[in-house]
Structure 1
Amino acid sequence: MTAPPSLAEPAVRAATGAAREFGRLFTMALDVLVLMFRRPFQPREIVQQFWFVASVSILPAALVAIPFGAVITLQLGSLTAQIGAASFNGAASVLAVIQQASPIVTTLVISGAAGSAICADLGARTIREEIAAMQVLGVDPVHRLVVPRVVAAMLAAVLLNGMVSVVGVSGGYFFNVIVQDGTPGAYLASFSALAQLPDLVVSELKALIFGFLAGVVAAFRGLNPRGGPKGVGDVVNQSVVITFLLLFFVNFVITALYLQLVPAKGS
């Protein structure tokens, strides 16, 4: 008689499969990093992909940045007023928007709007066997198709992050002054007293890394669909979810390192 299957076997298989997929994703990320600096470069394709990513992401990112900045400012304004530190509301709100909210919002929009389209495009090419045909002809699909899209996502993330920061800070300033009757001078003075250039640098660095992750995950899932057209739809959903999970984990790591390595202004 054969022994009944253990209840742990499905969990072990799932964990093994997830680890294998993560290893393949990590390998592809390393390949993309290497191929970015390998000739021939594709400036025309990069510009076209950048324009696509920016055009589908700029309006949603700006619209999302306004309520994000407003919610952070209103919440922090309420808390600082309760503890008698309302004069520091500007610094707390601006730093929270620039360091945390802005790169996350920017990349989430890029992943949902542009990353899903990139994943669907590569998935459709894969099930039509265009990728296999390129490999037969000796063309590396990662170098030809993936690298321009990843570079475009990185550039768009960095530039859109600056725009989202400005829009979010402006929205927070407006709601603090108009809704909470804050003092414009105190808001700006506390911001200039506590903020420093590394805060903006780490925000842009986060956007660059997050854009890289969003592009690589979208391309990886798009090159590995299963089950025909339905599989393409499945990998599009998976790419967005995986990107979201990676973003929050990597954001935690970068923030923890930044707070440990870069001293606060005035300390």
Structure 2
Amino acid sequence: MTSQVDKALAFPVKAMRTIGEVFQLGATVIGLLFRSKFQFREFVEQFWFIASVTILPASIVSIPFGAVTSLQVGSLIQQLGAESFTGAASVLVIIQQASPMVVALLVSGVAGSAMCADMGSRTIREEIDAMMVLGVSPIERLVVPRVLACMAVAFLLNGLVSVVGVSAGYFFNVFMQDGTPGAYLASFSALAQLPDLYIGLVKALIFGFIAGVVASYLGLHPGKGPKGVGDAVNQSVVYAFLVLFLVNMVLTAIYLQVVPPKGG
């Protein structure tokens, strides 16, 4: 009976331990940002790699995201007889929600998986252990510049995705739903405010941080052999997606409670 209870509790205990270790790694990364020697070359290399593998997919994916958002919101608003607010609703959804999530999914799915595979292969080859024996912190040398690169790329990509998504939404609304260009832009300028842009940028930074920390943690703690690295890569994508959607919900709820709507 005792062995059955231990087996039943093994998974939740392991899950809680993993969550605590991920939080500890994130706190360590934040602490090292202010007191460690910055690995500029590693940061530049990782920044270029992440940007090169995400900029084209982000540009392509943002077009259907903006188009679908504009078409769906525009159709619903037309049914309610409030066509003049189509621009505001579409653009605010893209800036506040769609753009940060597109960036987060691409950074965690494309760049995060590659980071996890690289660090996992270093771990099973005992390179990480060798660094620790030589007195080199793998977190300071490898994790911090990768997390910073994820944050920087996510921040910059968010602006690109927002512009492309809003442009696609404008095009599809005006040319496919017979929307009025003036009304589209006027409603946006009437209801949008700078905090709507700021929350998108803040979300992108936080999402980039989460994606980098999750990928780095699983890369530093893979299973045995190449199969363990492959499993860690898959887990990094799934776990990052789960955390990102949860954090997005929390940030959105806080923002809507703290920042009043324009004119409210």
Give the TM-score category using the shorter length. over 0.9
Query: What's the counterpart of residue 89 of structure 1?
Result: 86
Describe how 1:1-267 pairs up with structure 2 within 5 A.
3=1, 6=4, 9-267=6-264
TM-score, normalised to structure 1's length?
Answer: 0.97
Structure number with the higher helix fraction is 2
Counterpart CA distance in 2 for 1:41 and 1:12 is 41
Q: 1:124 to 1:66 in 2, by over 3 A?
A: same
* Secondary structure, aligned partner of 1:35: helix
TM-score, normalised to structure 2's length?
Answer: 0.98
Counterpart CA distance in 2 for 1:96 and 1:107 is 16
Map Cα deviations across residues 104-127 of structure 1 (whole Å, 9 max, x no partner): 100100111111100000000000
* Secondary structure, aligned partner of 2:34: coil
* Secondary structure, aligned partner of 1:260: helix
TM-superposed CA distance for 1:253, in Å, is 0.7
Counterpart CA distance in 2 for 1:228 and 1:38 is 35
Q: Percent identity?
A: 65
Counterpart CA distance in 2 for 1:135 and 1:144 is 11
The one-letter amino acid paired with 1:26 is F
TM-superposed CA distance for 1:169, in Å, is 0.4
RMSD between aligned alpha carbons? 1.1
* Secondary structure, aligned partner of 1:133: helix
TM-superposed CA distance for 1:5, in Å, is 5.3
Counterpart CA distance in 2 for 1:168 and 1:87 is 20
Greater mean deviation of Cα atoms: 35-44 or 78-87: 35-44
Map Cα deviations across residues 214-243 of structure 1 (whole Å, 9 max, x no partner): 000000000001121000000000000010
Map Cα deviations across residues 19-57 of structure 1 (whole Å, 9 max, x no partner): 010011110000000011223111121111111111100
* Secondary structure, aligned partner of 2:35: coil
Counterpart CA distance in 1 for 2:13 and 2:119 is 26
Map Cα deviations across residues 105-157 of structure 1 (whole Å, 9 max, x no partner): 00100111111100000000000000000000010000000000000000000
Counterpart CA distance in 2 for 1:43 and 1:9 is 47
Task: Provide runs of 4+ in structure 1 moved above 6 Å.
Answer: none
Question: What is the number of residues matched between the two proteins?
Answer: 264
In structure 1, the gaps of 5 or more residues are none
Counterpart CA distance in 2 for 1:5 and 1:219 is 34
TM-superposed CA distance for 1:4, in Å, is 8.0
